Amino acid sequence: MTDIGAEAEFDPMETFAAESRAKRNKTLALSSIPFAVLIWWILTQMSLEAFFSQILNGLSFGAVLFFLASGFTLIFGLMRITNLAHGGFYLVGGYLGITTVRATGSFWLAILVSALSIMVLGLFTERVLLRPIRGLAQPEVLLTIGLTFILGDLALAVWGGDPMPIPKPSWLNGALRVGDFAYPRYRLFVIACAILMGVFLFWIEKKTRWGAMVRAGVDDREMVAALGVNIKAVFTGAFMFGAFLAGFAGVIGGAFLTLLPGQDFEILLFALAVVIIGGLGSLKGAMLGVVIVGLIDSFGKALVPELSFFTLFAPMAIILMVRPQGLLGKLS
């Protein structure tokens, strides 16, 4: 008896959930229309092969951005430090890679040397430069921008102003062919690297003690410190790891984007766009962000080369108006 009665009863919570589910589906359906139109328009502009090439171009550029943005977002999430020197770390890392390849001939050694050197630079930045102004958000940002000017100018003094590519290992040269479709091997390698790194970072974040400390630190620093975790060491470790990734990105990215003075700020702009769109302090947000920014950039460059930076502007503006914390960011 009671069972039947309960079934017939009106459950407001259930109705509410169903309504909001229906509403969300409707919003999703509506917002997918402009995307469908956009993709249709793009396909009228280029062949299907070119379309797939552009997607891979976008993903490989996004892959480089992922190494930068994940470190950037980790540092911000833990310490609330906006490290604008990340672009400078990338550029100097790339140049150190060139020097190492020229001296030893090994691309892999170059990645290691660059990433470790930039990690030490990160240690210096965090311990010596940022420690005295810990917690003062704006001075911290300004200091890191000052540091970027110094790094960029010293790189210009040491390595000169000519564009430089990093020599790649020979088995990564050339194109991979699948039927009629050919695509540079190296770019596919970069995408694979980023996917592996993404999985690795997720594993660290979710499954290891380190990840648990970082997640706890993001949520409540004081509480973690009170529980006996040396939070300062965690901070320094995270900063060094972020710098390590930036140096890594410098070599990986420098091998197909070529290194140029001024690229420190250019790559920084893209990394900022990633975290503004994806949401600051979130690894998933960074993943989503690099795919979006990478694709927008590659299709923008192909279709409207004159507006190549401007194409980032509209999505950023829309997201800031509708969802200021970014797609997957948390409201602070």
Partner 1 sequence: MIRRISLKTRVLLVLAAIGLGIGIAAPYLFPKYIVGLISLALIGGLFAQSVDLLAGYVGLVTLGQAGISGAAAYGVGYMASKVGAGFPAQIAVGLLTGILASLLFGLMAMRSNDVYFIMITLAQGMIVWGLSIRLYKVTGAENGLTGIPRPEPVNPYWKYYYLVLVVVVLCWMLLGIIVKSPFGASLKGLRESETRMRMLGYNTTAQKLYVFMLAGFFATIAGILLVYLNGFISPSSVVLAASALGVLEAILGGVGTLVGPMIGAFIIVAIQNIVSIYVDRWPTLMGLIFVVVVLFARRGLVGAISDVWNRRQQEVSLEPQSAQ
CB 118 within 8 A of CB 239: no
Q: Specify the residue, 105 or 139, whose C-beta has the smaller distance to partner 1.
A: 139
Q: Specify the residue, 193 or 238, whose C-beta has the smaller distance to partner 1.
A: 238
User: DSSP per residue over 10-34, as a string?
Assistant: --HHHHHHHHHHHHHHHHHHHHHHH
Distance CA 279, CA 153 (A): 31
- The number of helices, as runs of H, and strands, as runs of E, in the chain is 13, 2
Smallest gap from Cβ 200 to partner 1, in A, equals 27
Smallest gap from Cβ 79 to partner 1, in A, equals 11
Q: Specify the residue, 149 or 200, whose C-beta has the smaller distance to partner 1.
A: 149
Q: Specify the residue, 108 or 310, whose C-beta has the smaller distance to partner 1.
A: 310
Smallest gap from Cβ 295 to partner 1, in A, equals 18
Q: Specify the residue, 184 or 326, whose C-beta has the smaller distance to partner 1.
A: 326
Distance CA 329, CA 332 (A): 9
> 175: helix, coil or strand?
strand
CB 140 within 8 A of CB 81: yes
**Footprint of partner 1 (CB under 8 A):** 76, 80, 82, 84, 129, 132-133, 137-139, 141-143, 145-154, 157, 265-266, 268-269, 272-273, 275-276, 280, 305-310, 312-313, 316-317, 320-321, 324
The angle at the Cα of 118, spanning 282 to 95, to the nearest 5 degrees, equals 115
Which residues contact residue 66 at a Cβ distance below 8 angstroms, ignoring those fewer than 6 apart? 194, 197, 198, 286, 287, 290
Tokens of 91: 């550029």
Smallest gap from Cβ 254 to partner 1, in A, equals 20
Smallest gap from Cβ 293 to partner 1, in A, equals 11
Q: Which residues pair with 182 in a beta bridge?
A: 177
Q: Specify the residue, 212 or 316, whose C-beta has the smaller distance to partner 1.
A: 316
Smallest gap from Cβ 143 to partner 1, in A, equals 5
- Residue whose entry in the numeric block shows the structure tokens 């694979």: 192
Smallest gap from Cβ 314 to partner 1, in A, equals 10
Q: Specify the residue, 192 or 304, whose C-beta has the smaller distance to partner 1.
A: 304
Torsion from C-alpha of 47, 51, 56, 61, nearest 10 degrees: 120
